[in-house]
Chains A and B, each alone.
Chain A
Amino acid sequence: MPNFNDFILTVKNDLLDFAKENLEEYKDELLKDGTQFVKKTKSDLERWTEGLASGTLSPADFEFLLKGKKDLAEMEALKQLGLSKIRITKVTNSIIDVIAGSAIRTFL
C-alpha cells in the first residue's frame, strides 16, 4: 500500500521532469525573440545612418525613427511580459495536472 511519502516523491520527480522540459523551451523562445530584435535594430540603424549621410533622411526623420524604435522596444517588452504571464497560467494548470496524475498513479 503506497503511503503519502511515495506520493510526495512521485510528485517531486514528475514536477522536476515538467520543469526541465518547459523552462528549456521558454528559454529558447525568449533568446530567439531577443536575438531577432537586436539583429533587426542593427540593420535598421545601418540603413538609417546611410540615409542620413546621403540626405534621403533628414536629421528630424532620423531622430523620429530612433524614438520610434524605442517605442517599439517597449511594445516588444510588453509582449514578452504578457507571454510570460500566459506561460505562468499554463504552467499552473499543468502543475495541477501533474499532481493529480501523481496521486492517481500512487494511490489507485
Chain B
Amino acid sequence: MIIRKKIKSTATILALFFVIISCSTISVFSPEAYKQAVDLKVESLEVMSFATMPYTDYEEDVDFLSTELSKAYEFSKGRPDNEISTRQWEILINPDGNLLGGFLKRWDEEETLSQMFVTEMQRLVADAFDTIIGLESGKIDPSEIK
C-alpha cells in the first residue's frame, strides 16, 4: 500500500515535470535573428529621422525598409517554437498599430510629421526593438543544450 502511494506520487511529480518542460519550450538563440534585429533597429531609426520631410521624397527608403522588416518577420515565423518573438515582430510592424508600422503609415498619410512626435516615436521604437533583441540574446545557445 505504501509502495503504491510512493509510485503514484512519483508518477505525479514526473508528469508535472514533463508538463512544465513541454509548456516551457522556446526557440534557441539565433545569431542571424539577433543581427537582423540590431541592423533593422539602426536602419529604422535612420529612416524615421527623415519623417519631418515629405514622405514622397523617401518613399523608396520606406519601401525598402518595409521589405526588410517583412523578411525579418517571416524569418521569425519560420523558426520552430518561436511564437513569442514572432508576436513581438507583429506588434512592431503592424500598420494599424502604434509603433513602427503605424508610424510609417501615418507619415505616408500626413506627408510630414512634427519634430517632437518623430523624436518621441524614435524612443518608443528603439525600446520596442530592444525587447526583441533582449529576448533573443537571453535565449539558450544551442551548444548549451544537453
Interface residues, chain A, with chain B CB atoms under 8 Å away: 40, 44, 47-48, 51, 56-58, 61, 64-65, 67-72, 74-76, 78-79, 81-83, 85-86, 88-90, 92-93, 96
Q: Which of A40, A48, A71, A89 contacts B98 (CB 8 A)?
A: A71
List the B side residues contacting A47 at CB < 8 Å: 120
Chain B: minimal CB distance from A94 (Å): 10
Of B20, B98, B139, which contacts A88 at CB under 8 A?
B20
B140 touches A64 (CB 8 A): no
Q: A92 and B24 in contact (CB under 8 A), knowing A56-B116, A85-B84? A: yes
The 3 lowest CB-CB distance pairs between A and B, nearest first, are A88-B24, A67-B98, A68-B98
Give the distance in Å from the alpha carbon of A105 to the alpha carbon of B92 in the complex: 51
Residues of A within 8 A of B91 (CB): 71, 74-75, 78
Q: Which residue of B lies closest to A48 (CB)?
A: B120
The interface residues of chain A lying within 8 Å CB-to-CB of B88 are 75, 78-79
CB of B26 within 8 A of CB of A85, answer yes
Contact B98 A64 (CB under 8 A): yes
Contacts of B92 in A (CB 8 A): 71, 75
A75 near B140 (CB under 8 angstroms)?
A: no
How many residues from B make CB contacts under 8 Å with A? 38
Is B128 within 8 A of A89, CB to CB?
A: no
Which residues of the partner chain B approach A69 to less than 8 Å between Cβ atoms? 124
Q: A61-B117, A64-B98, A96-B146 given as contacts; is B124 within 8 A of A86 (CB)?
A: no
Cα separation A88 to B17 with both chains bound (whole Å): 11
Bound-state Cα–Cα, A57 to B131, Å = 26
Q: Considering the chains assembled together, what is the distance between the CA atoms of A60 and B128 in angstroms?
A: 21
User: What is the bound-complex CA distance between A56 and B127, given in angstroms?
Assistant: 22
B117 touches A72 (CB 8 A): no
CB pair B25 A85 closer than 8 Å: yes
Given contacts A71-B91, A71-B98, A88-B20, 13 further A-B pairs with CB under 8 A are: A48-B120, A57-B117, A64-B98, A71-B99, A71-B128, A75-B92, A78-B135, A79-B134, A82-B85, A83-B134, A83-B138, A86-B139, A89-B24
